[in-house]
């Protein structure tokens, strides 16, 4: 079960990184947009990995706090970056 967790997490990380790089190549954005998106996604997956391993090891409080702090911080970073930097670039490219 744990091997499946790490395999699927690796697949999702590579899928997200490839999508972000593709979007960065097709849409004209500022140079710091892709690193901010990657930073947010890395924090989200770090929190998910921490929570999964904590739940498997029998420490649910540690896993819950990882979901709140790490994944929450990554989600906020990704959403703010998308709203402030990616969405205006998408709107200006579509016109």
- Tens-digit pLDDT profile for residues 4-44: 888 998 899 899 888 888 888 888 888 898 899 889 999 99
Q: Comparing C-alpha atoms, which of 28, 23, 30 is closest to residue 93?
A: 28
Q: How many CB atoms lie within 10 A of CB 37?
A: 24
Taking the model in full, what pTM does it have?
Answer: 0.81
- Tens-digit pLDDT profile for residues 47-86: 999 998 899 899 999 999 999 999 999 999 999 999 998 8
Q: Comparing C-alpha atoms, which of 68, 8, 81, 6 is closest to residue 39?
A: 81
pLDDT at 74: 94
pLDDT for residue 95 is more than 80:
no
Say which residue, 91 or 45, is predicted with more confidence: 45
Handedness of CA 39, 21, 88, 29 (dihedral sign): positive
């Amino acid at each position: 079960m744990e091997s499946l967790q790490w395999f699927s997490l690796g697949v999702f990380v590579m899928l997200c990184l490839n999508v972000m790089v593709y979007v960065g190549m097709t849409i004209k954005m500022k140079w710091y947009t892709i690193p901010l998106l990657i930073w947010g996604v890395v924090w989200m997956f770090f929190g998910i990995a921490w929570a999964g391993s904590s739940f498997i090891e029998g420490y649910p409080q540690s896993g819950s706090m990882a979901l709140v702090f790490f994944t929450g911080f990554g989600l906020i970073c990704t959403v703010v970056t998308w709203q402030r930097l990616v969405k205006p670039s998408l709107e200006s490219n579509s016109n």
